[in-house]
Chains A and B, each alone.
Chain A
């Protein structure tokens, strides 16, 4: 008898808990699921099929998918804001191969869960090729609160899940963008490491980041270039040397709309190693590299919206507790 694998994330006061369960296909019903939902409180659940027990592959895939679903700007968050037909969002179907997330009703969900549980394709690998049913148990759905308040509570739930799960999500799905899946590049000529670095640097230079003079002018300085140099020296902003322009340019992610340096840059630049990097490019590359711990986003993407996550990542990599003496880390 094929059974159903379920991964469940439940936020708690301090931390979320992650559980993997097997549900009996024969007894699974939307009514039972609803009862369990009321009993459990807020949770995010994934359902996929397997013949006996949660497999490592399923656990691996589930943790990836939790991160994909809850990260900033995820499709789930978009659907929350604008659910189809205005109905509360409880059930969704995620199709990994099509990278699509759609709202479904309870009975469709139950039918898919039962059907997926019988698919041979999912049994051995644990890979949810047939689609994963996602159940979102919002915050206090039974309470007499306004839809806006419930939405805010549910978003807070997703935020917490995101913070917790992004700390352990493995690379892969989480690094991709569900709405715009990455397409593997066509075979290309091999470039040397130095050439690859040069190409990357030139790509950044083509972004026309503000020069020292521009940075200083935006701040109303009498000596704009000197003002930018002072800010670099004080560890308030990061500059990258542009040989063609014979000046520093400054990644725009570190400024607010008024041109003021983001406060988080002060702490971040204390963590990122500056030794051996007078031109700033090592730190620029780090800033713009998509990261597993950020759900596939780059630190530059989150500096303004979630600086805490960026600082946690930098601390983990470069802080005093980051021990390179382990030899290996796993």
Chain B
């Protein structure tokens, strides 16, 4: 695994932004809390995340959002997809099992303060052209093992707290949808969640989810390849060798 030194990822100064968009999209696990309605599960923060900019040592619940539905799909379930030269997108069905996508609306009276890693917004809180600036950029290219990104998130939260403000989210440019951003929202226990569910969640492991994925991919010129095991012709005849 590539070694990236992120120990220098602290803030030169505390300068948070306000998340600029109200409508976001979110993919969530339909198993937690067990038995709860989908719109409750949709806003259930995950305290066990080990993904980018998670804060596992603080035990802070969190969930990820993106501004566009296709971005959140590529950032989550489709990160395991294979794409061929003809634009056919294939995904093992296990990667969308128990996953659902939903639109969220930010509560108007509850602005979300965020650390914005996008360029040039980043320069509000880190000096440009410095090793520290580069270290923050490097945090965005970590893949698979996100552990090195956890300390920078925790450091930033602590610096904000010391300055008397609360870091509610981190925003960064999406790697998988270049015109969009992704964000992690931190939900401390007991705090009101500044989001409401907008519309009906869509289970991605359902026929509706199949259509949803196909539609979003087609918007970008891709063809969604369905589950090959769903075709009766793909089912073996018992006893035939």
Instruction: Decide yes or no whether A323 CB sits under 8 A from chain B.
Output: yes
Across the interface, B76 reaches (CB within 8 A) one of A12, A185, A328, namely A328
* Smallest CB-CB A-B distances: 3 pairs: A289-B82, A193-B226, A281-B228
Known: A198-B233, A229-B241. 20 other contacts (CB 8 A): A20-B138, A55-B119, A59-B137, A59-B140, A165-B2, A167-B2, A192-B226, A193-B214, A193-B225, A197-B230, A241-B235, A241-B236, A279-B234, A286-B90, A317-B92, A326-B29, A326-B49, A327-B29, A328-B63, A329-B75
The stretch among A81-89, A101-109, A114-122, A270-278 that forms the contact with chain B is A270-278
Instruction: List chain B residues, Cβ under 8 A from A284.
Output: 228
Instruction: List chain B residues, Cβ under 8 A from A293.
Output: 144
Instruction: Decide yes or no whether A73 CB sits under 8 A from chain B.
Output: no
Instruction: List chain B residues, Cβ under 8 A from A325.
Output: 29, 31-32, 46, 48
Known: A165-B2, A225-B241. A281 touches B51 (CB 8 A): no
Instruction: Decide yes or no whether B93 CB sits under 8 A from chain A.
Output: yes
**Residue interface bits A194-237, CB-to-B below 8 A is 1, else 0:** 10111011000000000010000000000001101100000000
Instruction: List chain B residues, Cβ under 8 A from A323.
Output: 50
Instruction: Decide yes or no whether A140 CB sits under 8 A from chain B.
Output: no
Instruction: Decide yes or no whether B210 CB sits under 8 A from chain A.
Output: yes
Instruction: Decide yes or no whether A134 CB sits under 8 A from chain B.
Output: no
Instruction: List chain B residues, Cβ under 8 A from A168.
Output: 1-2, 141-144
- What residue of chain B has the Cβ atom nearest to residue A62's Cβ? B141
List residues of chain A with CB under 8 Å of any chain B CB: 12, 15-18, 20, 22, 52-56, 59-60, 63, 164-165, 167-171, 175, 182-185, 190-194, 196-198, 200-201, 212, 225-226, 228-229, 241, 243, 246-248, 273, 276-279, 281-282, 284-286, 289-291, 293, 298, 316-318, 323-330
Instruction: Decide yes or no whether B224 CB sits under 8 A from chain A.
Output: yes
Instruction: List chain A residues, Cβ under 8 A from B99.
Output: 324, 327
Instruction: List chain A residues, Cβ under 8 A from B137.
Output: 20, 54-56, 59
Instruction: List chain A residues, Cβ under 8 A from B88.
Output: 196, 200
Closest Cβ of chain A to B34, distance in Å, is 12
Closest Cβ of chain B to A161, distance in Å, is 10
